[in-house]
Amino acid sequence: MRIACSLFEKHFHYGLAILLNSLFHAGFKGKFIAGYRGSLPFWIKKLQPGAKKDSYFLSENFTLEFMNLETPYHFTHFKPSFFNKILEEETAESLFYFDPDIILKAHWAFMTDWVSNGIAVCQDVNSCMPSNHPIKCSWKNTALKMGLKINRESDFFYNGGFVALNSSQKDFFQLWEKLIKTVWTEDELKFFSPPSRASRLNSFCIADQDALNLALMITEHPISTIGPEAMDFIHGGKIMSHAIGQAKPWTKNFFLAAINGAPPTKADKLFWEFAGKGPIKPFSQNQIRKKKLDLLAGKIIGRFIRRT
C-alpha cells in the first residue's frame, strides 16, 4: 500500500482539504495520514466515516486518517519524526509527504514512477547552492564531527515541502531526524526559526530543510530530483504548486496584494479551482465565487503593478 501524509494545525486545515481534493483528482489510491495538533477540521462532518476512529472514506480506494500528535516541536521540524512513526505503525510500499499548502497537478501514476527511481525531492525557489558554498562546507564539517561520511556532492538546495521514498529507504528519515536534533537544541526546535538562527548566514537557518539537504549528501540511497519548476517556482511546471510565504491562498486579499505589487500566483489560482471540486467542501459556493472575483481583480491589477 502507498501512503501519503501531511502535517497541519490551526487554519492550515483549509490547505489540507484542497491538497486532498487535488490528490483525489490525480487518481490517488491508498491511505492518507494527516498528523494534527489542536482540533479536527469542521469539514470532516460531511465525510463518510471509516472503520477506524478518526478515519474517513474519500472514495472506495482513498482513505483519510487523522493522527493526533503531541510534540513541543514546530511541525516543520517534526516531519521525519512523524514519518518514522508512520512507518513503525504501518506497512507501506512507499511514503509521500506534502506540505498542506501544496496542490498536486501530476497524475498519481507519475508520482509512483518517480519514487521508484530513488528518494524524490524538488529544488527550492533559490535552488543554486554550489557544493563549495561556505554553508555547505559547514554542513560537511558537522557531518564529519558526527562520524558521518559525505557520499554525494550537490550544487543545489532542495525544498522540504515534498519528499517521497520507498520503505527500503526508510533509514533516510532516521538520518534526517538525527541531524535535526543535533544541529538545533530542544528549545530551538519549538520555533520555525528562532532569532538566533534567522539569518541565512547561519549554517543551519531552518533546521528541517538544511538537515534534509545534508542528509541527501550523506545517504547512499539513490535520489531523483526535479528543478524548481516542480513546485511552480518558475515557469514550465506540471507536477505541483507550492504556496510558499506567510500569506496563504485561503488568507490572502488578492486585490490588496496586487495593489502592493504581488499579483496572484499559480498556487493561488489552483487552490480556488480545487476548492470547488472534490470530495471535501471547506468553502460555500458563495465564498468561492467571491474569492474568484477577488482573484480576477488581482490578476487585472497585476498586469499594471509589479514589485521592482
Instruction: Find how far residue 174's CA is from the centre of its chain.
Output: 18
Range 29-35 average pLDDT: 98
Binning pLDDT at 50, 70 and 90, where does residue 308 land? low
> Are residues 160 and 251 located together in one domain of the fold?
no
> Are residues 254 and 296 located together in one domain of the fold?
yes
Percent of the chain with pLDDT over 70: 99
Cα–Cα distance for residue pair 127/141, rounded to 1 Å:
22
Please state the domain count of the chain. Answer: 2
Query: Could you tell me the three cell numbers for 286?
Result: 458563495
**What confidence tens digit (pLDDT) does each residue in 127-179 have?**
999 999 999 999 999 999 999 999 999 999 999 999 999 999 999 999 999 99
Query: Could you tell me the three cell numbers for 140?
Result: 560537511
Binning pLDDT at 50, 70 and 90, where does residue 198 land? confident
185 is in which domain, residue-wise? Answer: 2-231
Q: Confirm whether pTM is higher than 0.85.
A: yes
Query: What confidence score (pLDDT) does residue 31 get?
Result: 98
φ, ψ of residue 251 to 5 degrees: the values are: -115, -15
pLDDT surpasses 90 at 17: yes
pLDDT surpasses 90 at 197: no
Q: CA Rg, the chain, in Å?
A: 19
> Are residues 226 and 282 located together in one domain of the fold?
no
- Domain of 223, CATH number, reads 3.90.550.10
pLDDT surpasses 90 at 34: yes
Pairing of strands 2-9, 30-37: parallel
> Are residues 136 and 163 located together in one domain of the fold?
yes
> Are residues 268 and 227 located together in one domain of the fold?
no
Look at residue 238 and tell me if it is in a domain.
Answer: no
For the residues of 122-152, what is the DSSP string, one character each? EEEEEEE--TT-HHHHHHHHHHHHTT-----
Query: What confidence score (pLDDT) does residue 39 get?
Result: 96
Look at residue 236 and tell me if it is in a domain.
Answer: no
Strand spans (E) along 138-239 = 156-166, 223-226
> Are residues 227 and 296 located together in one domain of the fold?
no
> Are residues 284 and 175 located together in one domain of the fold?
no
**What confidence tens digit (pLDDT) does each residue in 56-95 have?**
999 999 999 999 999 999 999 999 999 999 999 999 999 9
